[in-house]
């Protein structure tokens, strides 16, 4: 392996083949090398093989696997096995099982379903993780820790209720303070003791489901409790292997965990990427959604290079309909990750098992080990491409535009009784802004309300509904210092505690607007506004505001609020705050955001990109500048390149008008 090399790897479960190890394991190594694989994720679901009985450990097979990987020049990302438990554990320690919303205990089965308050579970996790860290801490193959797998948490057992109450006590101090923060005088819900506060249930269940603040507190608790468990899991790893980086594989916009909060405890972000490519024009939208997820996942660990820990070299098996990805997908998907700052292309999984629910999931090798397959050839193509891109491994992104995605606003909006109740489309709206910014040629960093704003020239903050403590001030300071702020409808409605403001809302000075009302449209109902001589449609949401210093740049054309502001500009110190009052479609957002950013002197990476083409950039420590052009169309596209570039693929020089082949990622080095 060259000094600098991208990880090209896969989840690998050799223990499933232990009875055939003399043949299969050797064959796996040979074929992995043939595929250009240089890394394996091992031990992810191995607990029953590592600890076949309580306190009885067997690491012999993993010793062999680690040695074998090392001998074959491969890195190991070693997992802690807490994603799934052996049956004996549930039998011996029933507290490891979760309880559902109806307070019924689970029975043993499936995975990702442990109670994180269970002292037995915590102890067993510490025991096994300690042994793994002590045993493999100095193993030459050990490259990184893969902690657990796709964490989630929602347990309603008495221990978790107690943990929730303790969390509330720590947050609110007194029950009176909790009552005030939750506005519990409403419907006579004032608690007198923390012990009376139970986890909420979803509608149709018994118990609390309507209180926005009770629900929000539970979401915050679940996220914090999981992060607490994560810290518990990694304590022995930090103790015995302080120099081995730690990751856990994330699920992009998964609502159960504030990934920014979790990311602040990890060394490297990694995530599992499963777009359902179609082979036709729908891939433009799928590619855009995937680009958004990559940028978000990079954002949660401070924009550092991340890993695409899983992706499928064929069709997944868990969809209702599992369509085959067309030829070329593995390469596009892999290079798309690199273009957004990943330092890896990894697959689930290397060799498919003969049984289990994933027996028909796409894999690098089928159970019979055949290599004359489409998947294998496509993985080889990725390997060849990654070798050519090796110089840009570890290079960083450096974008001028930040887009805000904040789990707390998302949660609060999920429980906001107004507009489109239960369906305010926070995620879709932030994603639409991401798609618009990239279509306008900008590289985008995704941040949350606690992130540092100072590296940026513009902060685009759609539906920043809940303002976490200090954010309004930091955003205002950012604008005053010369930044461009862009806000939308449903911004700054509530404070950190999800309460409306009893005095002037903090964004009023920034936006120069008083927000009065919000209108929600049913399907087929539209309004319109004019921008740069074109008429644009408004759908779903329209906010009505009264200028308090802001200039009106565009106004509603219909409804009783015709003539009232849709797009406004407020000058703040050296900078400016724009507010879009209504939900517009992506083309409109592209036009509006592109105009505003350019007027503010913020230049795109490439101008006039055709539909379905985006540009991203990475920068090497040595000053090298790399430009990626992603053509998600199933047709050729043309771009006009700024300056002179060298294609990484073949070393040829390009400038000016350049062709991008269908569904490809082109990587260029600035000359």
CB 329 within 8 A of CB 311: no
For ligand GLA, give the closer residue by CB, 41 or 633: 41
Residues ≥6 apart with Cβ < 8 Å to 212: 412, 415, 416, 417, 498
Number of residues this chain uses to bind ligand GLA (CB under 6 A): 11
Q: Does 15 bind ligand GLA (CB under 6 A)?
A: no
Q: Which is nearer to ligand GLA, 180 or 358 (CB)?
A: 358
> 3-class SS at 275?
coil
Q: Does 272 bind ligand GLA (CB under 6 A)?
A: yes
* Residue 155 touches which member of Zn ion, ligand GLA, none, C-beta under 5-8 Å by kind: Zn ion
Q: Which does 361 bind (CB under 5 to 8 A by kind): Zn ion, ligand GLA, none?
A: ligand GLA
Angle at 444 between CA 456 and CA 545, to 5 degrees: 75
Binder of Zn ion out of 7, 76, 77, 115 (CB under 5 A): 115
Judged by beta carbon distances under 5 to 8 A according to partner kind, the member of Zn ion, ligand GLA, none in contact with residue 490 is none
The residues with which 42 forms a beta bridge, in sequence order, are 12, 78
User: Looking at 27, 127, 150, 208, which residue is catalytic?
Assistant: 150
d(CA 667, CA 649): 7
150 counts as binding ligand GLA under rule CB under 6 A = yes
Q: Which parts of 136-175 interact with Zn ion (CB under 5 A)? A: 155, 157, 160
Q: Which is nearer to ligand GLA, 78 or 577 (CB)?
A: 78
- Which helix (H) or strand (E) element contains residue 536? strand 534-547
Q: Is 310 a catalytic residue?
A: yes
Exposed / middle / buried, residue 170 (Cβ in 10 Å: 0-12, 13-18, 19+): exposed
**How is 58-118 classified by DSSP, letter by letter?**
--HHHHHHHHHHHHTT-EEEEEPSTTS--HHHHHH-GGGB-B-TTSPBP-S-SSS-B-TT-
Minimal distance, residue 196 CB to Zn ion, in Å: 19
Nearer to Zn ion, 103 or 377 (CB): 103
Instruction: Please identify the residue of the shown chain whose CB is closest to the bound ligand GLA.
Output: 272
Positions 290 through 349 that interact with ligand GLA (CB under 6 A): 310, 316, 318, 348
Which member of 233, 310, 378, 508 is catalytic?
310
Q: From the list Zn ion, ligand GLA, none, pick the one residue 160 interacts with, judged by a Cβ distance below 5 to 8 Å according to partner type.
A: Zn ion
> Minimum CB separation from ligand GLA for residue 340, in Å?
18
**Residue 448 φ/ψ region, left for φ over 0, alpha for ψ in the -120 to 50 degree band, beta for the rest:** beta
Token representation of residue 618 = 């990475």
* C-alpha–C-alpha distance, residues 75 and 83, integer Å: 22
Q: What is the DSSP letter of 391?
A: G
The rounded distance, in Å, linking the Cα atoms of 584 and 581 is: 9
Among ligand GLA, Zn ion, none, partner that 310 touches (CB below 5 to 8 angstroms by kind): ligand GLA
Host H or E run for residue 665: strand 664-670
The item of Zn ion, ligand GLA, none sharing an interface with residue 115, based on CB under 5 to 8 Å by kind, is Zn ion
CB of 232 to Zn ion, least distance (A): 14
Report the site for ligand GLA in 596-615 (rule: CB under 6 A).
none
Residue 149 binding ligand GLA, by CB under 6 A = yes
Within positions 494 to 533, which residues make up the interface with ligand GLA, using CB under 6 A? none
Which residue, 96, 156, 102, 97, is CA-closest to 121? 96
Q: Which is nearer to ligand GLA, 233 or 448 (CB)?
A: 233
If contact means CB under 5 to 8 A according to the sort of partner, which of ligand GLA, Zn ion, none does residue 157 touch?
Answer: Zn ion
The residue written with tokens 């602040």 in the block is 264
148 vs 633, beta carbon nearer ligand GLA: 148
Please give the structure tokens belonging to residue 407.
């789990």
Integer angstrom CA distances of residue 101 from 86, 111, 121, 199: 24, 18, 20, 8
- 599 to 618: interface string for Zn ion, x by CB under 5 A: --------------------
* Catalytically active residues, by annotation: 150, 310
Interface contacts to Zn ion, rule CB under 5 A: 115, 117, 155, 157, 160
Interface contacts to ligand GLA, rule CB under 6 A: 149-150, 249, 272, 274, 310, 316, 318, 348, 358, 361
């Amino acid at each position: 392996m060259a000094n600098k090399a991208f990880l090209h790897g896969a989840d690998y479960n050799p223990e499933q083949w232990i009875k055939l190890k003399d043949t299969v394991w050797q064959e796996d190594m040979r074929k992995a090398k043939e595929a250009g694989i240089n890394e394996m994720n091992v031990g992810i679901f191995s607990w029953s093989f590592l600890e076949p009985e309580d306190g009885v450990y067997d690491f012999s097979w993993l010793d062999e696997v680690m040695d074998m990987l090392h001998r074959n020049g491969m890195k190991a990302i070693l997992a802690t096995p807490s994603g799934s438990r052996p049956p004996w554990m549930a039998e011996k320690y029933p507290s490891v099982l979760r309880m559902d919303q109806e307070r019924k205990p689970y029975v043993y089965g499936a995975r990702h379903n442990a109670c994180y308050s269970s002292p037995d579970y915590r102890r067993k996790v510490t025991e096994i993780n300690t042994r793994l860290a002590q045993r493999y801490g100095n193993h030459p193959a050990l490259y990184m820790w893969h902690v657990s797998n796709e964490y989630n948490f929602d347990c309603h057992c008495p221990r978790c209720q107690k943990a929730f109450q303790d969390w509330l006590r720590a947050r609110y101090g007194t029950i009176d303070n909790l009552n005030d923060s939750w506005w519990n005088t409403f419907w006579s819900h004032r608690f007198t003791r923390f012990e009376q506060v139970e986890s909420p249930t979803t509608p149709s269940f018994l118990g609390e489901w309507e209180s926005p603040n009770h629900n929000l507190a539970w979401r915050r608790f679940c996220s914090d409790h999981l992060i607490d468990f994560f810290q518990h899991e990694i304590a022995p790893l930090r103790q015995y292997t302080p120099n081995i980086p730690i990751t856990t594989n994330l699920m992009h916009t998964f609502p159960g965990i504030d990934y920014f909060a979790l990311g602040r405890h990890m060394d490297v972000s990694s995530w599992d990427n499963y777009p359902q490519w179609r082979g036709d024009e729908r891939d433009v939208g799928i590619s855009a959604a995937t680009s958004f997820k990559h940028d978000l996942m990079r954002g949660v660990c401070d924009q550092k290079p991340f890993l695409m820990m899983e992706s499928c070299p064929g069709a997944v098996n868990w969809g209702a309909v599992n369509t085959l990805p067309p030829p070329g997908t593995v390469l596009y998907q892999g290079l798309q990750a690199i273009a957004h700052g990943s330092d890896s292309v990894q697959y689930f999984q290397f060799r498919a098992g003969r049984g289990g629910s994933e027996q028909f999931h796409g894999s690098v090798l089928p159970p019979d080990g055949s290599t004359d397959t489409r998947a294998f050839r496509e993985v080889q193509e990725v390997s060849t491409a990654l070798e050519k891109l090796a110089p840009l491994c570890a290079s960083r992104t450096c974008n001028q535009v930040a887009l805000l995605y904040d789990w707390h606003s998302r949660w609060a909006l999920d429980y906001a009784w107004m507009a489109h109740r239960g369906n305010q489309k926070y995620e879709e709206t932030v994603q639409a802004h991401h798609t618009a910014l990239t279509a306008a040629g900008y590289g985008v960093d995704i941040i949350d309300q606690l992130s540092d704003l100072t590296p940026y020239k513009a902060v685009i903050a759609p539906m920043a509904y809940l303002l976490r403590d200090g954010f309004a001030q930091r955003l205002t300071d950012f604008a005053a210092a010369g930044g461009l702020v862009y806000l939308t409808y449903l911004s700054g409605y509530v404070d950190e505690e999800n309460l409306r403001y009893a005095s002037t809302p903090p964004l009023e000075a920034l936006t120069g607007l008083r927000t009065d009302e919000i209108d929600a449209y049913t399907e087929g109902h539209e309004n319109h506004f004019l921008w740069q001589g074109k008429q644009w449609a408004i759908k779903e949401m329209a906010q009505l505001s009264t200028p308090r210093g802001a200039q009106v740049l565009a106004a509603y054309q219909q409804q009783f609020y015709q003539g009232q502001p849709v797009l406004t500009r407020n000058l703040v110190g050296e900078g400016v705050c724009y507010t879009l009052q209504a939900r517009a479609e992506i083309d409109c957002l592209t036009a509006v955001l592109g105009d505003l950013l350019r007027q503010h002197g913020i230049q795109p990476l490439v101008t006039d990109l055709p539909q379905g083409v985006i540009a991203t950039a990475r920068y090497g420590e040595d000053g090298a500048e790399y430009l990626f052009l992603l053509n998600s169309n199933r047709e050729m596209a043309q771009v006009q390149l700024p300056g002179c570039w060298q294609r990484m693929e073949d070393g040829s020089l390009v400038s000016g008008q350049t062709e991008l082949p269908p569904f490809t990622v082109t990587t260029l080095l600035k000359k």
